[in-house]
Each structure stands twice: as C-alpha cells, then as structure tokens.
Amino acid sequence: MATRYWIGTTDNWTTTTNWSDSTVPVTGDDIIFDGRAVTAPATNVETNDDFASVTVMSSYTLGMGGAGANEQVQFQCSGTVLIEGTGTYYLKCGDTTAADTDIVKTIINTTGTVYLASEKNAGAGNISEWTTVIVQNGTVYLYGGADGKGDASQEGCWVQNLYLAPKLGGNVTVNVGDECEDYKNGEQMTIVVAGGTLNISSDIDTITQFAGTVNAGTDVYSMDADDDNIATINLYGGTFNWLPSVVTGATPPLTAGTRTTASASPSITTLNMYKGTFSAASMLETLTTNPTIATCNLHERAVLNLDNSYNNFTVTTLNDFGGTIQKGAKQSLTIS
C-alpha cells in the first residue's frame, strides 16, 4: 500500500510525526528503519497490523522495544523482516485478537542482539508463529515460557524453522528457551546448523548439523523437566553436546552453575551420525538420570562420546558402521 519510514524524534510508535508523511503504518504497508531517526520506538509498540515487510537497514543503530512485559514491538508480517541495524531489538509476533498470526520470514544479519517472543502459544488457543528465522550474524534469544512476554496463556516463543547460517566473517549465537514449541498443534522446532553456536532448552523435532557447536541444555536459559527430548539428530559435522538438566531462573543469561534439579530420562529417538562428535561427557554429576538413545546409526567418520563419570546410558539399537565409541571405565552402556 505505502512505504513508511521511522523518523522518530520521540519513542512513541503511534505519534504521526514520528513517521514519514506523518502517517502511522497500517496493514499492508512496508516499514523501513534507516539512519534518519534520533529515537527508537519504545512506547505504544503493540499493534495488530500485518505489514508487507519490515526492513531495518545497517544505517539504523538505535534498536527498538524493551525487555519488560508488553514492551516488545508487536506485529505480523506477510513478507520478510530484515534486521541489519545495530543495537538491541525486542520483537514479538502476534496480535491481541482471537486469531492465529505469523511472521513469514525473518533474516537477522546484525552485530547486535535480537530477542523474539510469541504473543500467543497455547494448547487450546491460538498460535503466533515465526515461520522461518535465518540467522546470518548476531546473537538471538527465543524467549522461554517463564519469561512472560505474551498473554497469560503463552508458553515459549514458537519458531517453526530455524537456520544458523553464518555469513563469511559472521558470528552467530542462538539461545532457545524452554517451552519453545507449538502448543496448539503439538509440534516442535526444525533446526539446521551450518555454523555458530546453538544453545537449546526445549524439546526439538529435528536438528541437522553440518558445523559449529550445539549445546542441548545450558546455563543460558532455564530448562523444564519436560523440555529435554529430541526426536531426530542428523550430524554431518561439528560438535553436539548433550547436557540435559534443569536449572533455576528464567531470564537469560543465567548464572553459571545454577543447575539444581535432575532431568529424568531425557531421550533422543534417532541419532544419525555421519561425521563430527556427539558428546555426553559433560553431563553434570547426578543431575541427569537414565539418558536413552533409541536408535543410533554410527558411521566411520563420527565419534559417539559417552565417557561420563556419573551417568549410565541406554542405546536401544546401535548400528555401527565403523564409527568410534568412547565410554568411561566404570560406566555402564546398555545396548538392547
């Protein structure tokens, strides 16, 4: 419909003079943030509008939104959200009406930090979905369910497809909080890791990893006892660290060493290993009990490292095609 530029001299989203042509953007508009503004939007930032696109250019350095409840910039987008500006961004998908909402594609290419939230994510209600999120550079947090960034029924931030795809010289870190699932449709996230670092504290459907480091369970975010299962891991390279246990607190980053509660019977349904290292060597003391891998297909260029002084493991079906298995001298590994 129209292109609106943020030219903000105050932080109020709904002030007409903070936008080009003195017009606040509405559904169907393209929004652009560039270097002409002097103040970031931070008040009245929740909207039910569905924008055609949102572009934050590299010349924009102010960030937007805030960390408090209802301070995230809330919207929908039928096209692409591109974030290349610096600063810290607090963004939320959704609206306040009784409807499913989505942001179709989000590309993050920034040296700054981006926090993502979902307005709605409930088993019997509506879903606010970030359909595809591609991170090329920067640090990204998906708010966990305990962070309270949506309505009263919200769980964690729901992203259907997440890609860690560092550009040349890029530095990518993505932190996935607890309960970052689709509670309406009973679905979990699909993730592709081509580099960088991924820290996850939620159930996951499929992770395909080619490079970089994945930490399943970290001190970055709280992990609930029912957020420690992964359906499928396809490992083609890099290092995958399996560290499921429950930690106290919710707001990232947590204080290191706050793991206090056992994660009971975490499971991986299928582990396909073609190259790289899957490591459970850093599981903390007795805080994780009865870890199980239902099926492991271990190929010759891959390393399955279960060398841990505190935990015994069960691999229900192991298909060994010449890979390497490491375990502790006093450690039990049951293959049934």
The DSSP secondary-structure symbol of 125 reads S
**One-letter amino acid of 118:** S
230 in the same domain as 163: no
165 in the same domain as 313: no
Per-residue confidence (pLDDT) for residue 254, from 0 to 100: 53
Q: How many domains is the chain built from?
A: 2
CA angle 61, 42, 26 (to 5 degrees): 95
182 in the same domain as 261: no
Quick check: is 105 in a domain? yes
155 in the same domain as 26: yes
166 in the same domain as 19: yes
Q: What is the mean pLDDT of residues 178-191?
A: 93
Per-residue confidence (pLDDT) for residue 309, from 0 to 100: 57
111 in the same domain as 239: no
What pLDDT digit, counting tens, does each position of 44-89 carry?
Answer: 999 999 999 999 999 999 999 999 878 999 999 999 999 999 999 9
> Which among 187, 214, 234 is the end of a domain?
187
Quick check: is 295 in a domain? yes
Query: Confidence band (pLDDT; 50, 70, 90) for 28?
Result: very high
Helix (H/G/I), strand (E/B), else coil: 18: helix
- Res. 307: pLDDT tops 90: no
Provide the residue range defining the domain that includes 264: 225-336
What pLDDT digit, counting tens, does each position of 234-245 carry?
Answer: 999 999 998 876
- Res. 205: pLDDT tops 90: yes
Per-residue confidence (pLDDT) for residue 313, from 0 to 100: 79
What pLDDT digit, counting tens, does each position of 78-129 carry?
Answer: 999 999 999 999 999 998 887 899 999 999 999 999 999 999 888 778 899 9
> Which among 159, 187, 215 is the end of a domain?
187
145 in the same domain as 50: yes
Q: What is the pTM of this model?
A: 0.93
158 in the same domain as 18: yes
> Which among 158, 187, 216 is the end of a domain?
187
147 in the same domain as 77: yes
Query: Confidence band (pLDDT; 50, 70, 90) for 308?
Result: confident
230 in the same domain as 183: no
The answer to whether residues 155 and 183 touch, using CB atoms and an 8 Å cutoff, is yes
146 in the same domain as 230: no
CA distances from 267 to 92, 138, 156, 248, 313 (A): 31, 30, 21, 21, 10
Tell me whether residue 256 is exposed, middle or buried, using C-beta atoms within 10 angstroms of its C-beta: 0 to 12, 13 to 18, 19 or more: exposed
Quick check: is 28 in a domain? yes
Token couple for 41 = 């939007």
Summary mean pLDDT of the chain: 88
Closest-CA residue to 205 (of 191, 195, 215): 191
Q: Return the top range by mean pLDDT from 2-6, 283-287, 314-318.
A: 2-6
Query: Confidence band (pLDDT; 50, 70, 90) for 225?
Result: low
Quick check: is 195 in a domain? no
Question: Which range among 16-25, 101-110, 187-196, 276-285 shows the weakest confidence by mean pLDDT?
Answer: 276-285
Tell me whether residue 168 is exposed, middle or buried, using C-beta atoms within 10 angstroms of its C-beta: 0 to 12, 13 to 18, 19 or more: exposed
Helix (H/G/I), strand (E/B), else coil: 20: helix
162 in the same domain as 32: yes
Return the percentage of the chain with pLDDT > 70, whole number: 86
